[in-house]
Amino acid sequence: MSLLVKGLRRGIASTALLGLMAGFSPALAESTIVMGVEADFSRMDPAAARTWNTFKVIRHVYETFVEEDLTKGGDAVPEIVPALAESWDISEDRKTYTFHLRKGVKFHDGSDWNADAAKFNLDRMTNPDFEYFVPASPGLMGWVWGDLESYAVVDPYTFTITLTQPNAEFLRRLTAGGSGSPRMVSPTAVATFGNDGIEQNPIGTGPFKFVERVPGERVTIAKNPDYWNPERIPKTDRIILRAMPEVSTRELAIMSGEVDIIGTPSPDSIAMLEAQGLQLITGPSPMIYVMWFNTKDGIFKDVRVRKAACMAINREEMALYQRMGYAQPTWGVLNPGGPGYDPEFRDCDYDPEGAKALLAEAGYPDGLDTRMDWTFGGGADVNTKGDAEWLQRDWAKVGIRAKIEMFDNNAFWDMMSAGMRDGTGITSASWGESTFSWLDQVLPTTVMPPNCCNSGYYDNPEMDRLLSEARAAGSEEEMVVKLQEARDIVAEDMAFSSYFATNSVYVAVPGIKDFRLAPQHWFDLTSIVKE
């Protein structure tokens, strides 16, 4: 008996000692930052990866022809800068892009980046007959490859992509992600590990190399010291991104110092977190809370009711008190950080008395009863139920008595694909991008149920025409004119509105420096350091 105890004790002591040694030696040698993110990651294959959270990781591992420069932060729309293409030419008819590829760039496995690698990746994303085709890719990436006509290798360092129609946002869309991302994986790695093997061996050209993934726990990335752009060689050796879906766990973890930085605390906790001596890092985000009105609903088919609902919301107060100032009021369907956004635009003014009068005119002098279908959201959404209750109260004041029904995010989007339910007047979710690709998914008649997400049955062919013209626009100015025209028609019909755009909010321990936020759903981790 005592022998057993002794043996156990020795065993425990030696494991502990080993653990200590294993634990301390690398910690001394290299700098590590631990980040608590809002959800577990999706796939690591860029051709099939979902969610903005996942793109936060993979945009550092893989690259594409061009990149959005997020290293500077600030409010301005990030500049498009060269990445795997040194430069590019756009043809006279604006349909053909000729990329002059950067020479001497190597994937993390040592293989070369060149036009053949570009073709391999385009085949992988778009050509169903290709050996390494990713079947999920076309469904996920219509927003970037929807207008693709052809692509070709001109010479080892020249690659062309031809579109069926001009797309003013094509370069910016190339830099984006969240529903697939058009980024380049090493063809050698795909051939070696197979299509699914990329999940455990994500090999790109980016400033960070993938180290390991423990599903449900963390992803670790490490500095790529041989990165082609000396300005973007990471300042920190190792970054561990921990999935922490429970917001109170994230907050306690940053307070106890277990993680160095967290994303999206609850707005109600921010003052308390700052009181602990933690630093608050906020930046603009293209995320907007959009409202769909059900234009088929017996009550809400009357535009006067929809306008009254818009007029009943005190957006300034809501942003200030419900979101504690970490949101800005918005009107209409264009989002801050996206093309054509105008902070002065109003689709309605706050006017509860006017709203009551409109309702009376529409035949509801004693008010009306309806339902709000709401989602708990995912990723960077917090306390959406609180938002719903705030709106419910504002609406009740003018006589719109709404019942709230909360859905988990998956069930919510299934419902949106099926179309808003009978008896549901209003629904809402966060969306918005730095491109207007998301409007293609919300406004046109082609995405009415059973497609997603013109879920309130807004039947206006003008939207199809204007969005198509905005894509084909010859200049950004022309594109903006078309988008604003669409915005004004939507406001006139009051088919959609919005109430606020949230900021990106991060909380970090005092030692964290140079974590910069640009108006985007993701960020650049090459500059962040811990002192």
Partner 1 sequence: MQILQFTFMRMLSAIPVLIGVTIIVFLAVQLVPGDIALSILGRMASQEQLQALREQMGLDRSLVVQYGIWFTALLQGDIGTSLSQQLPVAGILGPKIVNSLILMAGSLVIVLVFGFLLAVLSGAKFRSMTDRVVVVITLVLASLPAFWLGIIMLYFFGFKWKLFPISGMYNVASPGGFWDLIHHLILPAAVTAAGSVAVVARVTRSRMIDVMAQPYILAGKARGLKRSQLVLRHAVRNTLPTFASIGGLQIGYLFGGVIFTEIIFNWPGIGLQVYDAILQRDIPMIQGCVLVVAVVFVIGNLLSDIAVYALDPKKG
In the complex with partner 1, which residue's Cβ is closer, 153 or 452? Answer: 452
- Omega into 450 within 30° of 0, i.e. cis? yes
Q: How far is the CB of 328 from partner 1 (least distance, A)?
A: 26
Of the candidates 244, 426, 467, 470, which one interacts with partner 1 according to CB under 8 A?
244
Q: How far is the CB of 289 from partner 1 (least distance, A)?
A: 17
In the complex with partner 1, which residue's Cβ is closer, 364 or 438? Answer: 438
Based on the shown chain and the rule CB under 8 A, indicate whether residue 414 belongs to the binding site for partner 1: yes
Q: How far is the CB of 256 from partner 1 (least distance, A)?
A: 5
Based on the shown chain and the rule CB under 8 A, indicate whether residue 380 belongs to the binding site for partner 1: no
Based on the shown chain and the rule CB under 8 A, indicate whether residue 249 belongs to the binding site for partner 1: yes
In the complex with partner 1, which residue's Cβ is closer, 326 or 438? Answer: 438
Of the candidates 89, 149, 246, 268, which one interacts with partner 1 according to CB under 8 A?
246
Of the candidates 37, 85, 203, 240, which one interacts with partner 1 according to CB under 8 A?
240
Based on the shown chain and the rule CB under 8 A, indicate whether residue 510 belongs to the binding site for partner 1: no
In the complex with partner 1, which residue's Cβ is closer, 116 or 196? Answer: 196
Q: Which stretch binds partner 1 (CB under 8 A): 15-23, 113-121, 151-159, 226-234?
A: 15-23
436-455 footprint of partner 1 as x/- string (CB under 8 A)? -----x--------xxxx--
Q: CA-CA distance, 391 to 426, in Å (whole number)? A: 11
Q: How far is the CB of 503 from partner 1 (least distance, A)?
A: 24
In 10 A of CB 361, how many CB atoms? 13
Q: What is the CA radius of gyration of the chain?
A: 25
Minimal CA–CA distance to 104: which of 89, 87, 86, 120?
86
Based on the shown chain and the rule CB under 8 A, indicate whether residue 504 belongs to the binding site for partner 1: no
The type of residue at 62 is: Y
What are φ and ψ of residue 213, in 5° steps? -130, 130
In the complex with partner 1, which residue's Cβ is closer, 22 or 81? Answer: 22
Helix (H) or strand (E) holding 375: strand 368-375
Of the candidates 8, 12, 81, 272, which one interacts with partner 1 according to CB under 8 A?
12
Q: How far is the CB of 321 from partner 1 (least distance, A)?
A: 25
- Give the pairing of strands 218-223 and 208-214: antiparallel
In 10 A of CB 195, how many CB atoms? 18
Question: Residue 174 contacts by C-beta under 8 Å, 6 or more apart in sequence?
Answer: 64, 65, 66, 144, 182
The type of residue at 201 is: N
Q: CA-CA distance, 105 to 108, in Å (whole number)? A: 10
Based on the shown chain and the rule CB under 8 A, indicate whether residue 278 belongs to the binding site for partner 1: no
CA dihedral 52→56→58→64, nearest 10 degrees, is 80
Based on the shown chain and the rule CB under 8 A, indicate whether residue 199 belongs to the binding site for partner 1: yes
Based on the shown chain and the rule CB under 8 A, indicate whether residue 271 belongs to the binding site for partner 1: no
Helix (H) or strand (E) holding 171: helix 170-174
Minimal CA–CA distance to 176: which of 282, 263, 46?
46
Based on the shown chain and the rule CB under 8 A, indicate whether residue 6 belongs to the binding site for partner 1: no
CB 333 within 8 A of CB 489: no
DSSP string, 246-289: -HHHHHHHHHTTSSSEEE---GGGHHHHHHTTPEEEEE--S-EE
Of the candidates 104, 230, 256, 531, which one interacts with partner 1 according to CB under 8 A?
256
Beta strands in 397-473 (DSSP E): 400-407, 424-431
Q: Which of positions 31-60 make contact with partner 1 (CB under 8 A)? A: 32, 34, 39-45, 48, 50
* Site size toward partner 1, by CB under 8 A: 67
Based on the shown chain and the rule CB under 8 A, indicate whether residue 17 belongs to the binding site for partner 1: yes
Based on the shown chain and the rule CB under 8 A, indicate whether residue 321 belongs to the binding site for partner 1: no
- Residue whose structure tokens are 């050996």: 131
In the complex with partner 1, which residue's Cβ is closer, 2 or 256? Answer: 256
In the complex with partner 1, which residue's Cβ is closer, 42 or 285? Answer: 42
Based on the shown chain and the rule CB under 8 A, indicate whether residue 266 belongs to the binding site for partner 1: no
In 10 A of CB 79, how many CB atoms? 11
What is the three-class DSSP state of 473?
coil
Based on the shown chain and the rule CB under 8 A, indicate whether residue 192 belongs to the binding site for partner 1: no
In 10 A of CB 256, how many CB atoms? 9
Q: CA-CA distance, 260 to 428, in Å (whole number)? A: 33
Of the candidates 152, 413, 464, 485, which one interacts with partner 1 according to CB under 8 A?
413
Q: CA-CA distance, 450 to 106, in Å (whole number)? A: 44
Q: Which of positions 119-178 make contact with partner 1 (CB under 8 A)? A: 135-136, 138-140, 142-143
Which parts of this chain interact with partner 1 (CB under 8 A)?
Answer: 12, 15-20, 22-24, 26-27, 32, 34, 39-45, 48, 50, 135-136, 138-140, 142-143, 179, 196, 199-200, 214-218, 240, 242-246, 248-249, 252-253, 255-256, 258-259, 378, 408-411, 413-414, 416-417, 441, 450-453
